[in-house]
């Protein structure tokens, strides 16, 4: 998917650093959502849904870089991404059907 695996291999961050970066990105996404939806105390940040989309992609990229770093090859990364997305989406679909 895109060149996330290759970029991850070139980036010297450790797995721990990526996990902390994901926490940072999740916080930025939460701030954007709160502001864009007009949550009390968050309106002054003036975020829009465009900001929400951007922060969501930032969090997704970091998440995928964690998966890439935990994979031994591009083939494993691609296969695991496909397998896990199917597995997790099927679980989500089951919960929605309940």
Reported pTM: 0.91
Query: What pLDDT sits at residue 34?
Result: 95
80, 67 contact by CB (below 8 A):
yes
Residue spans of the domains in the chain: they are 4-97
* Residues sharing a CB contact under 8 Å with residue 13, sequence separation 6 or more, in sequence order: 21, 65
Quote the CA–CA distance of 45 and 23 in Å, as a whole number: 20
77-92: per-residue pLDDT in tens? 999 999 999 999 999 9
Query: What interhelical angle do 74-97 and 49-69 show, nearest 10?
Result: 130
> What is the per-residue pLDDT across 5-48, written as a single tens digit (0 to 9) for each?
999 999 999 999 999 999 999 999 999 999 999 999 887 889 99
1 has a pLDDT exceeding 60: no
List pLDDT tens digits, range 60-73. 999 999 999 999 99
């Amino acid at each position: 998917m895109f060149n996330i695996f290759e970029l991850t291999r070139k980036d010297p961050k450790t797995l721990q650093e990526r996990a902390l970066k994901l926490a940072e990105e999740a916080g930025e996404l939460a701030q954007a959502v709160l502001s864009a939806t007009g949550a009390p105390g968050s309106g002054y940040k003036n975020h829009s849904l465009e900001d929400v989309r951007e922060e969501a992609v930032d969090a997704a990229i970091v998440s995928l870089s964690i998966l890439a770093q935990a994979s031994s090859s591009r083939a494993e990364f691609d296969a695991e991404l496909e397998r896990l997305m199917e597995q997790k989406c099927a679980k989500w679909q089951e919960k929605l059907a309940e």
